[in-house]
Amino acid sequence: MNSLKKILLGEQGLLVIFAGAFVVVSIFVPNFLTERNMLGLLQSVVTIGIVSCTMMFCLASRDFDLSVGSTVAFSGMIAVMVSNASGSIPFGLLAALLCGGAVGLVNGVVIAKLRINALITTLATMQIVRGFALIASDGRAVGINDPSFYQLALSRIFTIPTPIWIMILLFIVFGFILNRTVFGKNTLAIGGNPEASRLAGVNVDRMRIWIFTLQGMVCAVAGILLASRITSGQPNAATGLELSVISACVLGGVSLAGGRAAMTGVIVGVLIMGIAENVMNLLNIQAFYQYVVRGFILLIAVLLDNLRSSAAGRGRA
């Protein structure tokens, strides 16, 4: 019993749970372990997965970002509208990245410089940006003129769809940033103790602004891929995304109190969210029930986080 507890609450606990769940689901759910379903599953978590990369940094530095869903929708909308208007897809993508980055920059500046609580700030920008998306499109979906925009999501490299590659690439890049760069270590230090980090020479304000700006740009990447997949800019796309993303991060062992994060954990968290939804679809469980299950997953994630930190808090001499 004790050793089981140790494994489940230890560093690799989540991997163990994940592997166990994967095996069980593979055996008992028909059509789960097929190439087609696996790719579908990965496709379905692309948005959550991409945004989780930077949400991890945000949470690790003791901040919070509720505006990601709106930013994804808004920047997807910008990508489509600017591409249509200018006739140039690269131009549209660039505009989307800039707009996403701008939203993040505003979040970061307000939070770091004006010292307004991140929860409140991003709650506000979440609504403002969603409003922008609705205003820009007059509340309707905006179709894509140039069909090659679809290719962003439809194209495949070595039989695997491009968005999945992009997600994997971002996992690698942000995993590297977290573990192997000064930026990553400073992020964790800020989350561990912001004032001590500042006195140790970390430019805390600048770090926070950068983290939010990156978050905005990464949301734009997710927004572009989402718009391409659903073949239009949808002002109501990605509602509730912030909660799925935060759930995935927390499930992946990122501490809401800051200072603790791991890319592998977040990846597993994202996959667990994806598998839960995928399995419910395969088992023809009504969509309404999926909300309930997602809520429970989040609760369990927070509970695990709590148990883990109290387990880590022990052992002091």
Residue 225 near residue 219 (C-beta atoms within 8 A)? no
**Position 51 contacts other proteins (CB under 8 A):** no
Dihedral sign for Cα atoms in the order 120, 123, 124, 125: positive
Q: Please select the residue that binds other proteins; options are 16, 23, 180, 289, rule is CB under 8 A.
A: 180
Cβ proximity to other proteins: between 152 and 204 the closer is 204
Q: Please select the residue that binds other proteins; options are 182, 283, 292, 303, rule is CB under 8 A.
A: 182
Give the integer Cα–Cα distance in Å for 4 and 46: 32
Dihedral sign for Cα atoms in the order 286, 287, 289, 294: positive
**Position 69 contacts other proteins (CB under 8 A):** no
**Position 183 contacts other proteins (CB under 8 A):** yes
Give the integer Cα–Cα distance in Å for 274 and 147: 29
Give the integer Cα–Cα distance in Å for 153 and 156: 8
Stretch that binds other proteins, among 64-72, 121-129, 189-197, 290-298 (CB under 8 A): 189-197
Q: Please select the residue that binds other proteins; options are 84, 193, 239, 264, rule is CB under 8 A.
A: 193
**Position 312 contacts other proteins (CB under 8 A):** yes
Give the integer Cα–Cα distance in Å for 201 and 101: 26
Give the integer Cα–Cα distance in Å for 31 and 29: 7
Cβ proximity to other proteins: between 261 and 266 the closer is 261
Residue 286 in 3-state DSSP?
coil
Cβ proximity to other proteins: between 277 and 305 the closer is 305
**Position 22 contacts other proteins (CB under 8 A):** no
Residue in 161, 174, 160 with CA at minimum distance from that of residue 249: 174
**Position 231 contacts other proteins (CB under 8 A):** no
Cβ proximity to other proteins: between 45 and 60 the closer is 60
Q: Please select the residue that binds other proteins; options are 34, 86, 148, 181, rule is CB under 8 A.
A: 181
Give the footprint of other proteins on this chain (CB under 8 A): 179-183, 185-186, 188-189, 191-193, 195-203, 255, 259-260, 312, 314-317
